[in-house]
Amino acid sequence: MIDGSFRSRFERLVEPVGRGLERIGVSPDVITAVGVMMAGACAVAIGTERYPLAFVLLILTGLPDALDGAVAKAGGRTSIRGAYLDSVSDRLSDGLLFAGAGWNLAGSETPTMAMLPFGLYIAASLVSYQRAKAESLGYHAKGGLMERGERFIALGFGLFFSSLFVATLWVMFILTVLTAGARFVKVWRQAEGPPPTSDRGARPTTGAEG
């Protein structure tokens, strides 16, 4: 849902910041790497139940994800390689965050709850994969109740209101599974018709997909 008009407005908002970072020589690849490192630090904070710190680090994980594209556009350095790096980094960051949640729950009174973040990561990966695969085939698979942007916001809510952390993970899991199912149905129905024309052929997806 967020990956639409809201994202376009947000990208326009960070354009001046992107131009400023590009002028001082900051590489978009470096910004992407910083985002992954922040995700790793956030995972450790989640795993050790330092929720306020984890909340701050989650914000610092999301900012580079928004700025690397702005810097690349400002410097005219957008490329397939950059989009590929961004997408892979997003998957790695997601994995680190869910691993931190699993670490957290593994040390709880019910350690089997660690399977919840594991299942959530599987569902989230399926959501992202379906969009990437569909677009490579010329179909559309955007949309859903729990894309990557919504997952970030929901996880931030669970960290800020730490007493609701587990409940938030359950809501994320249910909505992510529903999103994966909706995307499957969407592409399945498109595939019932004639094959996509060449102008709708494979295009590189960016790290924005979720």
> Which residues are catalytically annotated?
90
DSSP, residue by residue, 133-177 = HHHHTT------SS-HHHHHHHHHHHHHTGGGHHHHHHHHHHHHH
SS3 category, 180: helix
DSSP alpha helix (H) spans, the chain: 5-23, 28-47, 51-74, 80-106, 115-136, 148-160, 165-191
Tokens of 169: 């993970």
Question: Is residue 146 a contact partner of residue 121, using CB atoms and an 8 Å limit?
Answer: no
Greatest CA separation for the chain? 55
